[in-house]
């Protein structure tokens, strides 16, 4: 396994998903935008899993669990935020379970926090 190439693959995917999340939210598609924000976090966390385990990441979407597998030391706030973002993975896949879409202001705040966390995670690689 070429670990640096796999890390780069996941990092690039995270950056692309984050860009798509931003564009989608700007178009008013908040649920899908936040789904892709979750995907961006998932991909950068999978880069950490590769770095830590030297293996292909598991086929899971739980951000908190991926951070644990990747041996990332998160603050309580960061861990809580990942839990919040996990909800958008579910709502993006199973819209029938969505109670109410977040307001645009909440989506913008979540997107900004995603950007900050992803940048921090990139620095940790």
pLDDT tens for residues 6-48? 999 999 999 999 999 999 999 999 999 999 999 999 999 999 9
Report the run of H or E that residue 74 belongs to, with start and end: none
Share of residues in the chain with pLDDT > 90 (%): 87
Residue 100 has pLDDT above 90, yes or no: no
pLDDT tens track for 104-122: 999 999 999 999 999 999 9
Rounded Cα distance, 120 and 82, in Å: 14
Helix axes 3-26, 30-53, angle to 10 degrees: 170
Rounded Cα distance, 41 and 78, in Å: 12
Residue of higher predicted confidence among 47 and 90: 47
pLDDT confidence of residue 90: 79
Helical residues (DSSP H) of 3-102, grouped into ranges:
3-26, 30-53, 63-69, 76-93
What architecture is domain 3-124? Answer: Up-down Bundle (1.20)
pTM over 0.75: yes
Rounded Cα distance, 33 and 28, in Å: 8
């Amino acid at each position: 396994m070429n670990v640096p190439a796999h890390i780069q693959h996941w990092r690039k995917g995270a950056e692309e998903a984050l860009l798509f999340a931003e564009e989608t939210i700007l178009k008013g598609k908040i649920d899908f935008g936040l789904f892709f924000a979750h995907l961006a976090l998932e991909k950068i966390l999978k880069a950490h899993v590769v770095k830590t385990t030297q293996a292909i990441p598991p086929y899971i979407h739980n951000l908190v669990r991926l951070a644990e597998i990747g041996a990332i030391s998160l603050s309580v706030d960061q861990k809580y935020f990942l839990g919040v973002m996990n909800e958008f993975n579910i709502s993006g896949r199973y819209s029938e379970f969505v109670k109410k879409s977040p307001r645009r202001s909440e989506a913008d705040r979540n997107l900004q926090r995603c950007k900050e966390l992803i940048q921090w995670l990139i620095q940790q690689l």
